[in-house]
Structure 1
Amino acid sequence: MHAATHSMFPATEQALLSPVELNTLATLMLPGLPQNNSSRTAPEQAPQPSLSFAPQLEEDPEDDADPAYLDDPDYTPDDTNTQPIPAGYTYICQFIAHDIIADSHFHIGGRHTSARLNLDSMYGNDGSGDPIRSIEVRYFDSESGRFLTQAHDVHRVAPGTIENAPWATAWMPEQRNDENAIVLQLHSLFQSLHNAFISALPATQTDMAERIITARRYTVAVFHHIVINDLLPKLVLADCHEYFFNKLGPFYYGASRPYTQVPAEFKLASFRFGHSMLRPRYHLKTEYSQSFSLDEIMRRPPFEPLDEAHVVDWPALFFDPLDNEGLQQIASPIDLFITSDMATVPHPTNPRAGRNIAQLNLLAGIKLGLNSAESILRVITTESHFKPFAEYFKQQLSHRKLVVTSPGQETDFIYALLAVLQEQQRTPLWLYTLQENLTDYPNNNQYKLGLVASAINCDVLRSAMYECYRNDEQDGMAQLADKLTTTIQQAFACLGKPLHTMADITSFLTTRSHSDE
């Protein structure tokens, strides 16, 4: 068994699952799937538990879309731990993953990712080592410094233009962003934000490379501002967000341990919570019009221009929770269940070979020897390196166990299996991530992550962002935070408008686009 590379926790107890347990979990997490009794996954000597508790998929696909939208959202403004999450933020997480987590199958035309969240999935990386100045100029118009882009889509070129990708036509470094209609448009959206900065920069800055680099610096800073102040507060424990971004409390990474690698716990487990948040269907317009299955959105024809029907009205995906105008779609809860469309994730070289995403996630942790959640908890509460965090969250970490009570008889079996794994100290971190929120929220809120997943994600993303501002080896966390804040203020001054949320960005760019027509 291989040890998990770049682990945050030097523990030794791995979350091993038997073939029967793996097959059972992967089947129960995607309700309605037929049982797979293949000898490769369930040996004859190990009897397969009954799967009769798994709920059946309804024949009407629209039934699986509930809730399709919120007619009369009943939000409590003062309680930030109970608000459902607008559906678009799921895809911001995917956009982040594509920027800092390498493609495990390395598609032809793929790239070497940087661990820093510097949007090199958009800007490319010329190999110079500087996280902001390292641009690939071929993606920009040589006279203006603007991204070559199209309305709602990216610029597309003739086959063979991109090296080693004879059929690729999407003119961008990260080809994975072209596979999903929503992520593709997010890519185009942030390209448009860069172009807005190019237009707003003073004419006296005439050096084209410097204009592009300045626009990148501002675009990246605004994106960081969105991640810190819009995305993460919706997803993580409020006290945990306060600890990492206001008190600048230490965890694993710090000024004395520069961030250079995406740790296994993040990329294989804690940041894969979004698979649970995926809805089975999406309305892409603010009117109550045609909806599209997850399969249609995530498996668009490779490298073809965006279908007009898939153009997103952003207020349908990013909205003010207190505003009830138009269609408002929320993400699915963070829990142990995944929409059945994720049962057949296409293989990158054989689209007919569908793969179960739950099984893939569990297998990834097993193959790389990822530590069990219980082992990680033991390290956090006993190792001196984590002492400041453990002291700050002493009450929450004391006698910490998952809540594994089934909410309904149809799901009893998966909770029983999870209880066994917890008792035997071998709970996979991904499963722990999906269930931990019920330990931290007495009101059974499942729209946020629990403490351990919040900490891992905050620590990694904070480090991935702050390292973009390190130009002095002596910089500490406070200096890096100040540099980010200064750059954000400069960016807002350049535009003449602050952009604090995704709704702000989409509204600003939509209005700007209409005024240019």
Structure 2
Amino acid sequence: MSRTRRHATGPLGHFGRRAVLAGAAGISAGAIVGRMRTAARAATLAAAGTGAVHGTEPRGLYLTTQNRLAEGRFGLMFKKLPVYAPSDALLDGLARTMVEDQTVPDDSLLNTSQRLFAGFTFIGQFIDHDITFDNTPLDQQEADPYATTNFRTPRYDLDSVYGRGPAGDPQFYDPTDPDKLLVTPNVHGVLDVPRDAAGRAIIPELRNDENLIVVQLHQAIARFHNRVVDHERSQGVRREWVFEAARRLVRWHYQWAVIHDFLPRIVGDALVGPAGTVYKEVAGKPPVINLKYYRPTNKDGRPFMPVEFAVAAYRFGHSLIRPFYVINQASLDRGGVPVFGEDGGFNLNGGRPVPADLVIEWKYILPVDPTFPARKPRRLDTRLSLPLTTLPGSVVPPPDPTVHLAVRNTLRGKHVGLPSGQQVARAMREPVLSNATLGLSGDPGWGGEAPLWYYVLKEAELPPNNAERLGAVGGRIVAEVLVGLLQRDPTSYLYLDPAWKPTTPIAPTTGQFGFAELLKFAGAA
């Protein structure tokens, strides 16, 4: 694989409940698919898993039901493992037990990790939207409903923020300074993304406006870009190169934060860190990367999104969601802001200008102030917050009767052809947890196996992970996919300059950069 280095001074070659689903689940389809013009077109795409009808599935998710060896936008990580297909009734029954015990004190439901904070749930949602962002033109989507030829390669390069750049998508940029993204005071007088007269966000990835936390993260990243533009100009970068130079630096800092900040908190240092078995830091040298299972086999080596990641392992985030959040003093005074509520109320519903009393003070949910105790997410276990068991019509329109998120997840795993958790553990040569250890019934319908999503969550819940981080199977899938996507992205730091590290003034010191530092440099925290 050839690598060409380019330098910053030269040209570069409703949260309503909707957002709970779109977050770590990755099950929204994006704005383009939602604008279907005929029922026939919608039906064709829905059959391939596009989400055209209900906005619930990314295009191409069901490719694996047609060909288990195929790799398009999606594919299988473990192509030789059989489909695990217990009865729908058995899966439904299991899923309905996956609800947190309402008799247990709230404090006992919080994550005890000293490294994981409530804001990382939403960072995970933002990353998911970035990876699954699909800007393929509608006619090409219709011609390729299984996303085998015409699709945006999964990568986290902030296309969900930049779109096609100031020339291709000028509506996202400051008309007085097109090198900068547009951030402007809204009708409530607070900084916000641009919006139309109805209050809808004018951003490339509309899922980022589905809750007030993610849209404010989107806005903070836009402000980070604008600060980097100022920095590049101060360094004498030629005017015609400023945008591309700034975008490259922003992408690389964001990618660094995903790998060095978000990922170790979720999967642990044993997989990603100074002694990581997937991504190992080596002083003064490029990292050592060891991908055992995520190995695209298509002729171009083009990355794909494994369904084991998209439909099981990366849905760990559903377990982290709390029913209420403290995001600022106003929400603290009111006992927290609910994730769901009536449109326009005191809740985290998106699709509207950010209200003045719901502007995030990031120190409440991320470690931006070492003297201030940031809030925790839920435990990482096999339970979901009670509100996730009753999804509204905006997510599950009639006549679809399945409004329980855990039911939808377990059934989807079967219908896309996932293997069982134990099958994946055996393929990885990891210790295999029995159904008795997992707490599953002895019903012979299980065949001694468990759904992969449930297995990943229970593995995280049990020692030695103790509901703080993912375990051997779930952690390995998540780590290999996020590292592998970055390694195969020809614009990433890991591809172009793997020894690169963030430096001052953007980072406080060389190599010290995460999402807290991003927010601080942006002026958002």
TM-score (norm 2): 0.70
**1:188 aligned onto 2:199:** no
- Secondary structure of the residue that 2:422 maps to in structure 1? helix
**Mapping of residues 401-440 of structure 1, within 5 Å:** 401-402=433-434, 404-405=436-437, 415-417=439-441, 424-438=447-461
Aligned length: 416
* Rounded Cα–Cα distance in structure 2 between residues aligned with 1:426 and 1:19: 15
Structure 1 residue matching 2:340: 3-state secondary structure: helix
SS of 1:239's partner is coil
AA of the residue aligned to 2:202: W
Pairwise CA distance, 1:424: 1.9
Q: Give per-residue Cα distances to partners, 1:194-229, cap 9 Å, x unaligned.
A: 011011112543445x32222111111111111111
SS of 1:146's partner is strand
- 2:231 aligned to which of 200, 223, 238: 200
* 1:304 alignment partner, SS class: coil
> 2: distance between equivalents of 1:480 and 1:416?
41
Find the aligned partners of 2:173 and 2:110 in 1 and give their Cα distance: 38
Distance across 2 between alignment mates of 1:503 and 1:297? 31
In the other structure, the counterpart of 2:379 is: 333
Query: 1:400 — aligned with what?
Result: 432
Contact 2:410 2:453 in 1 (8 A): yes
CA 1:286–1:451 in structure 2 vs 1: closer, same or farther (change >3 Å)? farther
Compared CA separation, residues 3 and 254, structure 1 to 2 (3 A): closer
Of 308, 315, 327, which aligns to 1:272? 315
Alpha-carbon deviations, 1:246-285, whole Å to 9, x = none? 1311323459873421111111011000000111210111
Structure 1 residues 97-119: Cα deviation after superposition (integer angstroms, max 9, x where no partner): 1111258xx99xx9975401111
Query: Where in structure 1 are there 5+ consecutive unaligned residues?
Result: 32-54, 76-81, 127-132, 160-167, 382-396, 407-414, 472-478
Paired residue for 1:162? none
Do 1:69 and 1:329's aligned partners in 2 also have CA atoms closer than 8 Å?
no
Q: Name the counterpart of 1:306.
A: 354
| Equivalent runs, 1:32-111 vs 2, <5 Å | 55=101, 57=102, 65-66=106-107, 83=114, 85-101=116-132
Q: CA RMSD in A?
A: 3.6
- 1:119 alignment partner in structure 2: 158
Q: What is the alpha-carbon distance in structure 2 between the residues aligned to residue 297 and residue 436 of structure 1?
A: 36
Q: Separation in 1 of the partners of 2:484 and 2:444?
A: 32
The answer for the alignment partner of 1:363 in structure 2 is 411
Cα deviation per residue 1:388-420 (whole Å; 9 max; x = unaligned)? xxxxxxxxx2x42258558xxxxxxxx233x65
Q: Does 1:449 align with 2:492?
A: no
Given residue 205 of structure 1, which amino acid in structure 2 is its aligned partner? V
**Residues 434/92 of structure 1: CA separation in 2 closer, same or farther (3 Å cut):** same
Q: Among residues 333, 341, 358, which one is paired with 1:289 in the alignment?
A: 333
Residue 422 of structure 1: how far off its partner (Å) = 10
Q: In structure 2, the residue corresponding to 1:416 is in which secondary structure?
A: coil
Give me the whole-angstrom Cα distance separating, in 1, the residues matched to 2:397 and 2:372.
Answer: 36
Deviations 1:291-340 (A, max 9, x none): 1112149985553211222211101100179x4x4453111111100001
Tell me how far apart the structure 2 counterparts of residues 334 and 438 of structure 1 sit (CA, whole Å): 6
Deviation, 1:450, is 0.5
* C-alpha distance in structure 1 between counterparts of 2:167 and 2:433, whole Å: 45
Q: TM-score, length-normalised on structure 1?
A: 0.71
1:232 corresponds to which of 263, 266, 279? 263
Distance 1:318 1:181 in 2: 15
1:181/1:83 CA distance change after superposition, 3 Å: same
| Structure 1 position 504 matched with structure 2 position 525 | no
Q: What is the deviation of 1:430?
A: 0.5
Q: What does the per-residue CA deviation read over 1:110-146, in whole Å, with 9 as the maximum and x for residues that have no partner?
A: 99754011111111147xxxxxx99634311244211
User: In proportion to residue count, which structure has more helix?
Assistant: 1
Contact 1:3 1:369 (C-alpha < 8 Å) held by counterparts? no
From 455, 458, 463, the equivalent of 2:479 is 458
* Unmatched tracts of structure 2, length 5 or more: 1-64, 69-73, 142-149, 185-189, 281-287
1:461 is displaced (CA, Å) by: 0.5
Change (3 A) 1:171 1:452: same
Call closer, same or farther: CA 1:28–1:317 in 2, change over 3 Å. same
Q: Give 1:371-382 correspondences, 5 Å limit.
A: 371-381=419-429
CA–CA distance in structure 1, aligned partners of residues 261 and 435 of structure 2: 28
Q: Secondary structure at the match of 2:96?
A: helix
Distance 1:280 1:135, change over 3 A: same
Q: Residue type of the partner of 1:97?
A: D
Aligned residues with identical type, % of pairs: 25
How far apart, in 1, do the equivalents of 2:470 and 2:348 lie?
Answer: 30
Letter in 2 for 1:331: P
Offset of residue 467 of structure 1:
2.6
Residue 365 (structure 2) pairs with residue 317 (structure 1): yes
Matches within 5 A, 1:452-491: 452-469=473-490, 480=494, 483-486=497-500, 488-489=501-502
Relative to structure 1, the CA distance from residue 152 to residue 332 in structure 2 (aligned partners, 3 Å threshold; closer, same or farther) is: farther
The structural deviation recorded for 1:26 is: 2.0
